[in-house]
Structure 1
């Protein structure tokens, strides 16, 4: 169903060493894309790279990069490095990297926790999208996907900085979509996976039964579709998978 939908596309995926990011990277490679794997865990990143090449999919790029401490110049250098490696080709980004501490009352949460969650969940997607904009606008068809979270839409007690940072991500997507109206080849959308059997979900909902969560295979075809030319013209949407 998703085979060959991403042929000849080059797509960058953050948080690609585990969880949703890893599975999206493998699904995109299986659909024909050359994926750029970005994550901070070198060994895990190498394993994803090896899995993709062993499956006979297009050889990916793997870049160890820590989003948390990165400043503007470092994002720009990353973009320049990737532009050189790909010959200036980039057809999309999937912002899968996410940062979650733990659920706790507001008076137990710290400023550092909020800052770090905002840096990974909101600032890093903004910085990467800005840095790669020159490449994206040269693509015939480019899709930027922000991976959202239901608590960014419906605030609840104890979710603090995580929910707020994901709500800001929704705003960032709408800003990008509105600004890109003059570029019909560009689009930006938020995909909200919901409860999935991922490391983050297990950490945030330890009492939840596995049967209450979706499997990766339930959501991956939709990720592929939203990065393919079949979704062209759909932009500025928050989509619940």
Structure 2
């Protein structure tokens, strides 16, 4: 896959990015902004969101927007309010990039804490489904728009608990949604598996592993950017 260079490839695009406070989400946000998009930064960590906001502004890119939201406690009305706010402030939405995730508990199934299990599924799966559902009417208004989900190689790995299950379910949801939207030809649905990346989530999962040889989040952002810049939105990964 060829990665586009920075420029105006996403001029006038409005792109919502979840998990935008740090890691891959923050890198994707900076990359999209560097290519002319106005990005909506969604996360619960306001101070970190403000840092990403400042980085984008200081680089001379389009002024982003911050939308603080804790996915753990969010429900369907919260996502409907998000869609309404986007409509009122921007009048359009061209893409949603799902980068938000929580690791949950790495343990055998029989030792999984039920509360943690449910919270992990809610943040990684249910939130992505409800947010996508709320934004679909906006996305369908564009001639070509995109939904991008982040998956993981550990979706079928032992001990990865609700995190692994949620990522496998996201792949299934994306496939289902892709089939439903294919005939309409307006909203493309993609999955990106970034592999092993030097992020806080990796550090939590592998605290004894030296991450120095791993790719940085900034090295992964071009994978998302290439999809957002595709001219033929019917092709999927």
Q: TM-score normalised to the size of structure 2?
A: 0.94
5+ long unaligned stretches in structure 1: none
CA distance in 2, matches of 1:167, 1:29: 30
Unaligned runs of at least 5 residues, structure 2: none
Give the C-alpha shift of residue 231 in structure 1: 4.9
Specify the alignment match of 1:149 in structure 2.
152
1:13-52 aligned within 5 A: 13-52=17-56
Q: Are 2:99 and 1:99 aligned?
A: no
Range with greater deviation from structure 2 (225-234 or 65-74) = 225-234
C-alpha distance in 1, partners of 2:62/2:90? 13
Distance in 1, matches of 2:68 and 2:113, equals 28
- The 1-side partners of 2:129 and 2:15 are apart by 17
2:233 paired with 1:232? yes
Deviation at 1:186, TM superposition (A): 1.0
Partner of 2:217: 216
Alignment of 1:166-205 (within 5 A): 166-205=167-206
CA contact (8 A) 1:195 1:212 kept: no
Q: Given the superposition, is the C-alpha separation of residues 231 and 79 from structure 1 closer, same or farther in structure 2, using an over 3 Å criterion?
A: same
Does 2:128 correspond to 1:112?
no
- Say which SS state the counterpart of residue 210 (structure 1) adopts: coil
Instruction: Tell whether the 8 Å contact from 1:136 to 1:186 is kept in structure 2 after alignment.
Output: yes
Whether the 8 Å CA contact 2:105–2:112 is kept in 1: the answer is no
Contact 1:118 1:161 in 2 (8 A): yes
Q: Give the TM-score taking structure 1 as reference length.
A: 0.92
Aligned to 1:130: 133
User: Distance in 1 between the 2:225 and 2:25 partners?
Assistant: 13
SS of residue matched to 2:231: helix
Q: Give the Cα separation in 2 of the matches to 1:149 and 1:95.
A: 13
